[in-house]
Amino acid sequence: MSAPKKKNFQIEAFKHRVVVDPKYAEKTWKILEHAIHEIYNHNASGLSFEELYRNAYNMVLHKFGEKLYSGLVSTMTAHLKEIAKHIESTQGGLFLEELNRIWAEHNKALQMIRDILMYMDRTFIPSTHKTPVHELGLNLWRDNIIHSSKIHKRLQDTLLELVQHERTGEVINRGLMRNVIQMLMDLGSSVYQEDFEKPFLDVSADFYRLESQQYIECCDCGDYLKKAEKRLIEEIERVSHYLDTKSEPKLTNVVEKEMIESHMHRLVHMENSGLVNMIVNDKYEDLGRMYNLFRRVSTGLALIRDVMTSHIREIGKQLVTDPEKLKDPVDFVQRLLDEKDKHDKIISSAFNNDKTFQNALNSSFEFFINLNPRSPEFISLFVDDKLRKGLKGVTEEDVEIILDKVMMLFRYLQEKDVFEKYYKQHLAKRLLSGKTVSDDAERSLIVKLKTECGYQFTSKLEGMFTDMKTSQDTMQGFHAAAGADLAEGPSLTVQVLTTGSWPTQSVNTCNLPSEILGVCDRFKTYYLGTHTGRRLSWQTNMGTADLKATFGKGQKHELNVSTYQMCILMLFNKADRMSYKEIEQATEIPASDLKRCLQSLACVKGKNVLRKEPMSKDIAEDDAFYFNDKFSSKFYKVKIGTVVAQKESEPEKQETRQRVEEDRKPQIEAAIVRIMKSRRVLDHNNIVAEVTKQLQSRFLPNPVVIKKRIESLIEREFLERDKTDRKLYRYLA
Amino acid sequence: MILADGISLLCNDMQVDPQDIVMLVLSWHMKAATMCEFSKQEFIGGLQSLGIDSLEKLREKLPFMRSEMKDEHKFREIYNFAFSWAKEKGQKSLALDTAIGMWQLLFAEKEWPLVEHWCQFLQARHNKAISRDTWSQLLEFARNVDPALSNYDAEGAWPYLIDEFVEYLTENSIVQIGQMSDWSQKC
């Protein structure tokens, strides 16, 4: 194919008619300038936007953009200067309204101007990096109106004055306020912040400084807080009504600082109305208010917490050291629980269940409960009381609640081993006298102790329950084996207790009446026959007996007494009068127990089956006792309790203490050896620290005791001192 | 075997009192196991190491042995040796009376101003035998803690008996911690 030379077509650009008129730009601008004037004068209805747009378009197209832009700036500036003068001249209250009205107009005008000059906005301005029309309008407004020397200050003052009016309770035109503030925000965040927010915050601070000063002088704490809360809410509302939302934290900050932070110490410590007073009087609402307000300032909660803690410690200390309140252990523990409940309630209802407050409460309780060395004993006595009688007719859930509370107190105890010791004693008494109300409750508490302290802690307690069960089986076996032989004479129930599990004291067996002795021996033979290699000894100090007695006029009663008392009463089958010495000789009951027994047999009204000479409350060694045939009682069954020392007496306490100390020694030594075995070499202070840590779930070992144990281990060559550093110990394998 | 009688004969020959501290030093050289007793092996071994083959030489050696007590290092060795030397065979600790006697003897050589108070304290409050640890730690205490107790550290792992001694001293205002009382300056 041949390629004939092709003719190239060229498409020429369409050529505009070149504007030759040299005055074209000037003329066109005049039209536009006129239009702008008309717009500002509300005569825009007569204008043709299409025409104006085209003119502006052409000016930009013919490279007169610069002229157009600068013309706009100067025209608008001139207008705004006029407006400024007008606004300056407005009188008093109308100032703000006028400003607002003209601002709205300016916006409208700006809108129209922007529409006309849209082409410039789109092409000329971006390419020359000038300010777009709308923004330009705002800037000019800012510079010529807001920052004009006569308006600037007046505007600020007027706004602040209005807020001040509102704060003092007057109603102001919030809509107007909102519009003007909105204007400031439209002019850019820096205008709002510099020209309004900053001075506003300063004024607010002054206002609240003054007001809080007045309040604090004349209000009590509760009222003050109410007022502060009200103010805070007002300010938050103020922000939502007519301020920038970003101002809220700044504004609340000011109120918090002036009304709360500056006065919080004084508030908390206010006499008769401060925090302590609120706590004492359970003022949940006030406390809640204080919590919520103080939470807003950085050290507020710590302050409340500290004051609360020291208050609780103080009352707790009084509670546990007041000798009056120590008289009744059950009441003592009940008071502790009440105190705990009270403060729990405060924390949950007023302090938002704050964890740090709960911890503070716990540590306070831990602090003061351990101030009294008898706390473990008393808590055990409280449980004893509950499990003996207190829980009758109480639902299972309520029992659980009480036991959980007891466990909570138990957790506070440092000397958990002391509690264990007493608990064992009290449990033994309960089990042996059959006084325990609910087996389930007993076991439930043991389970709780086990989860808290581990298997070791409760193994002996559980052993006691096992013994009780086995004893029942043994007795069945015994009766089955002995059969009819036992029908005559007294019936016997034996509980076989494993030594070691029970807190048995080695008390000499008293002399039992011959009637009883026979049955006892039979049982002994039976038991040892089935269990070879065991030893039985009678714990006569722990038993009980039911006696049938006939008195003077032939009235019959069943007397429920202790084994000791039974031995004493049986003596009166043979004689009507016996002296103290004779009784002591015949029974060989230890003197202190004997006195107690006789006291409850002869000195308690309504249960005095014996008569004593001379009549007196206490038993003396030269007293004489008679069978009281004038005894009478409404009841067939008469329970004669021993005058038991519920609380331990001083020497008993000492003895228990000593036993506890003795029991601790091997535990401490074991801990030292455990630690040294793994560490091989350790210095003194670290051993003490580690031992304390290991044992603290049971008790708080005394450093001196630890030291003694270390020395003892050195002497027994488990450890040695390092040759060069005498503070270092070595483990000798 | 030289027993008590033999020892007193030996002392006579050496012209020293059997209570003389130099006998302890001699026993230390002989590595004697027990007070008032030398086995033949101990006796000969000791004399050999001292380079003595006659009574004359033994007598001449006495001043040297006395001077050895002044040597810090040797004193410590002799002090610690004294514990096992003085205690009864088979016992782990040292009877209090013996211990007090030994302390008085030893601290007469190397002055420790609190020794009398220590002994009084033990008799009043302790009245039990002394363990090896307490024995050896007391020397450290006497050496390192000044008599005014200004550098005593309650956390310093001292045996509890020494802690209690310090308590006793302050309780009875014998020493006010950190202050040199007139009494301790006199010594």
Answer whether residue A431 shows pLDDT above 50.
yes
Predicted local distance difference test score (pLDDT) of residue A229? 92
Helix, strand, coil distribution of chain A in percent, nearest 5: 65, 5, 30
**A726 chain-B contacts, CB cut-off 8 A:** 137, 140, 157
Residue B181: pLDDT band (50, 70, 90) is very low
Handedness of CA A536, A539, A540, A542 (dihedral sign): negative
B56 and B80, same domain (yes or no): no
Please answer yes or no on whether B133 and A707 come within 8 Å at the CB atom: no
Residue ending a domain, among B47, B70, B93, is B70
Name the packing angle between helices B132-144 and B160-171 (round to 10°).
Answer: 50
pLDDT digits (tens, 9 = 90+) for A673-711: 999 999 899 999 999 999 999 888 888 888 889 999 998
**Residue located via tokens 């008679």:** A626
Q: Do residues B24 and B84 both lie within one domain? A: no
The DSSP output letter for A387 is I
On the question of pLDDT at A7 being above 70, the answer is no
| Same domain (yes/no): B13, B81 | no
Bond from prior residue into A614 cis (ω within 30 degrees of 0): yes
**Same domain membership, residue B97 and residue B113:** yes
**Residues B54, B90 within the same domain:** no
Chain A positions in Cβ-Cβ contact with residue B157 (cut-off 8 Å)? 683-685, 707, 726-727
> How many residues are listed for chain A in this entry?
733
Contacts of A377 (CB under 8 A, 6+ apart): A329, A418, A419, A422, A647, A648, A653, A656
Token pair listed for A648: 């331990």
Same domain for B48 and B103: no
Q: Is A135 exposed, middle or buried (0-12, 13-18, 19+ CB in 10 A)?
A: middle
Residue A708 in contact with partner chain B when CB distance is under 8 A: yes
**ipTM of the assembly?**
0.82
Q: How far apart are CA A203 and CA A193, in angstroms?
A: 14
C-alpha A650/C-alpha A656 separation (Å) is: 10
Among B70, B98, B115, the domain-final residue is B70
B15 and B35 inside one domain: yes
Mean pLDDT in residue range A380-403? 81
Mean pLDDT, all residues of chain A: 85
Identify whether residues B60 and B88 lie together within a single domain: no
DSSP H helices in chain B = 4-14, 21-30, 40-50, 55-68, 72-86, 96-109, 115-121, 132-144, 160-171, 182-186
A715 reaches B (C-beta below 8 A): yes
Query: What confidence tier does B183 reach under pLDDT thresholds 50, 70, 90?
Result: very low
Q: A150-192: per-residue pLDDT in tens? A: 888 888 888 898 889 999 888 888 888 898 889 888 888 888 8
Distance from CA of B53 to the nearest CA of A (A): 36
At A92 the three-state DSSP class reads: coil
Same domain, B148 and B110: yes
Taking CB atoms and an 8 Å cutoff, what residues of chain A touch B135? Answer: none
pLDDT per residue as tens digits for the range A221-235: 989 999 999 999 999
Both B66 and B89 in one domain: the answer is: no
B146 and chain A: CB distance < 8 Å anywhere?
no
Kindly report the CATH number assigned to the domain that includes residue B174. Answer: 1.10.238.200
Q: What is the domain count for chain B?
A: 2
Question: What are the tens digits of pLDDT across the range A388-399?
Answer: 876 667 777 888
Q: List chain A residues with CB under 8 Å of B134.
A: 711
- pLDDT tens figures, A628-669: 888 878 888 888 776 554 566 777 788 888 888 888 999 999
Set out the domains of chain A in order of their start, with CATH numbers.
24-146 (1.20.1310.10), 153-298 (1.20.1310.10), 315-467 (1.20.1310.10), 544-639 (3.30.230.130), 651-731 (1.10.10.10)
Q: Do A715 and B93 touch (CB under 8 A)?
A: yes
- Say whether both B92 and B61 belong to one domain: no
CATH code, domain with B51 = 1.10.238.10
A476 touches chain B (CB under 8 A): no
Label residue A345 by pLDDT band (50, 70, 90): very high
> Is the CB of residue A434 less than 8 Å from the CB of residue A394?
no
The model carries a pTM of 0.71
Predicted local distance difference test score (pLDDT) of residue A312: 93
User: A22-54: per-residue pLDDT in tens?
Assistant: 677 788 888 888 888 888 887 777 778 888 888
pLDDT at res. A306: 93
Residue A15 in this model has a pLDDT that exceeds 80: no
Residues B63 and B102 occupy one common structural domain? no
- The residue segments making up the domain with residue B78 are 72-186
DSSP bridge partners of A544: A562
Say if the Cβ atoms of B131 and A711 lie within 8 Å. yes
